[in-house]
């Protein structure tokens, strides 16, 4: 399951690790920062772009490191301002990264708020019955370099789209770790990647604008609470009682609500920030009003925000989203109790934006040829 590339991804190096590697070659201490500036600040696309480095050093770097360990295979744009990027890794694995644009009033699309959704694994082992990502199980974890590479690809696309007349390095506003895979099952690579994304020598992106979403791996939630960088947390709840949750999320057997809820509470008390409870609405599975009432009680107890997401149909799976009226009635139970709730008019339905669907289709097409 572990994949070892022949060259280490440059996007997986920290300032310290790169400094140490360069010191072996007798390079001065400032060299690592210079190289990372080329990568993240000046957006060098090839070693030869790094003109302040000597040619022999560039040649050594090219042999030793992979500058960007992913290539853009497909960019599927949708009318409702979502871009879905399919990226190919060195072992031909495919991963998905999504750009979600939320237009702001009075300004053009180029100035919309942008949220980037990144993947952490190829496939997923958690087996949630409604999800396309997990259908074929877990292929492998992503390395830190492969996680960071997704964001650098987005930067390159956005740089080409809008002139870089901005004060910030990253051309987006939020990162959500909600793509393919269970981020907390690939914990070390996740934290290393987010550390690189956050660092001043990296993308300089604020930890408080990064949300990690988990299906509920309790020990790792508690570990995440102790991280020095204060990331935000979202929980894929999808069932407000063990009875319902267990039917659709096998993880609930190991970590039932009696374990999950106290862990979420511990996290939010430690951070003093609202946690988000994600709840996909699936017809006749979890859309009964009793579920809404139980969800309301949980959200109140946790002082959490609730994000209701109408289920996105997955080819080959029987689940359906409830009618609009039913979605509204569910949301109303929460609103009446003054719970902070959003009923997502989900983006990108027409480009298969729900996690794992684009990759699944492409792999199926590959197999068919
Ligand atoms: N594994 C993590 C993060 C990735 S999944 C987690 O489960 O939280 C990101 C979100 O998309 C989760 O809330 C997941 O339940 C949801 N999701 C999966 N399949 C979906 C579908 N077909 N329609 C709508 N949301 C879906
Ligand atoms: Fe994995 Fe999340 Fe999909 Fe569950 S919902 S199978 S944890 S990606």
Which of 96, 146, 158, 278 is catalytic? The answer is 96
Are 244 and 285 in contact by the 8 Å Cβ rule? The answer is yes
Residue 101's pLDDT is 82
pLDDT of residue 276: 96
Q: Is 117 a catalytic residue?
A: no
Q: What is the pLDDT of residue 160?
A: 85
Cα first-last separation, the chain: 25
Q: Is 85 exposed, middle or buried (0-12, 13-18, 19+ CB in 10 A)?
A: buried
Architecture of domain 8-66: Orthogonal Bundle (1.10)
* 8 A C-beta contact, residue 119 and residue 150: yes
DSSP annotation string for 10-46? GGG--HHHHHHHHHTTT--TTHHHHHHIIIIIS---S
Same fold, 8-66 and 70-368: no
**C-alpha–C-alpha distance, residues 145 and 117, integer Å:** 16
d(CA 265, CA 301): 9
Q: Could you tell me the residue ranges of all domains in the chain?
A: 8-66, 70-368
Distance from residue 133's CA to the centre of ligand 2 (Å): 6
Residue nearest ligand 2's atom 8 by CA: 181
Q: Is the CB of 311 under 6 A from ligand 1?
A: yes
User: How far is 160 from 202, CA to CA, in rounded Å?
Assistant: 20
Residue 121 CB less than 6 A away from ligand 2: no
To the question of pTM greater than 0.85 for the whole model, the response is: yes
**Top CATH class, 70-368:** alpha beta
Q: How far apart are CA 130 and CA 319, in angstroms?
A: 7
Residue 107: predicted pLDDT? 57
CA distance 329 to 10: 50
How many angstroms does the Cα of residue 277 sit away from the middle of ligand 2? 15
Residue-level pLDDT at 348: 47
pLDDT in 10s for each residue of the chain, 369 residues: 678 898 999 999 999 999 999 999 999 999 999 999 999 999 999 999 999 999 999 999 999 999 999 999 999 887 667 889 999 999 999 999 999 887 666 655 556 788 999 999 999 999 999 999 888 899 999 999 999 999 999 999 988 887 654 556 788 899 999 999 999 999 999 999 999 999 999 999 999 999 999 999 999 999 999 999 999 999 999 999 999 999 999 999 999 999 999 999 999 999 888 999 999 999 999 999 999 999 999 999 999 999 999 999 998 999 999 999 999 999 999 999 999 999 976 554 544 455 556 665 566 556 555
Using CA atoms, how far residue 129 sits from 247, 249, 282, 298, in Å, is: 8, 7, 11, 23
């Amino acid at each position: 399951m572990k994949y070892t590339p022949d060259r280490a991804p440059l996007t997986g190096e920290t300032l310290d690790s790169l400094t140490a590697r360069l010191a072996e070659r007798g390079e001065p201490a400032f060299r690592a920062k210079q190289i990372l500036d080329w990568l993240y600040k000046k957006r060098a696309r090839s070693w030869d772009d790094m003109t302040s480095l000597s040619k022999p050093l560039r040649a050594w770097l090219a042999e030793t490191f992979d500058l960007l360990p992913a290539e853009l295979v497909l960019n599927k744009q949708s009318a409702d301002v979502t871009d879905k990027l399919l990226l190919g890794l060195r072992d031909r694995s495919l991963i998905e990264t999504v750009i979600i644009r939320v237009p702001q009033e009075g300004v053009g699309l180029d100035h919309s708020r942008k949220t980037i959704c990144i993947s952490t694994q190829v496939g997923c082992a958690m087996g949630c019955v409604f999800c396309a990502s997990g259908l074929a199980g877990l292929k492998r974890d992503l390395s830190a370099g492969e996680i960071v590479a997704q964001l650098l690809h987005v930067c390159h696309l956005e740089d080409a789209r809008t002139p870089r007349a901005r004060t910030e390095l990253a051309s987006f506003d939020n990162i959500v770790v909600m793509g393919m895979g269970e981020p907390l099952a690939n914990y070390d690579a996740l934290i290393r990647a987010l550390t690189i994304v956050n660092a001043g020598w990296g993308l300089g992106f604020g930890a408080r604008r990064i949300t990690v979403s988990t299906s509920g791996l309790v020990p790792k939630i508690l570990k995440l609470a102790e991280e020095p960088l204060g990331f935000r947390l979202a929980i894929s709840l999808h069932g407000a009682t063990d009875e319902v949750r267990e039917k659709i999320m096998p993880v609930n057997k190991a970590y039932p609500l009696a374990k999950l809820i106290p862990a979420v509470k511990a996290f939010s008390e430690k951070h003093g920030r609202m946690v988000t409870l994600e709840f996909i609405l699936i017809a006749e599975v979890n859309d009964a009003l009793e579920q809404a009432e139980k969800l309301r009680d949980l959200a109140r107890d946790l002082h959490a925000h609730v994000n209701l997401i109408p289920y996105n149909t997955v080819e080959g799976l029987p689940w359906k989203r409830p009618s609009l009226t039913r979605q509204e009635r569910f949301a109303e139970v929460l609103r009446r109790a003054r719970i902070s709730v959003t009923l997502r008019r989900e983006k990108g339905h027409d480009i298969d934006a729900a996690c794992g669907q684009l990759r699944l289709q492409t792999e199926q097409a590959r197999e068919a040829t």
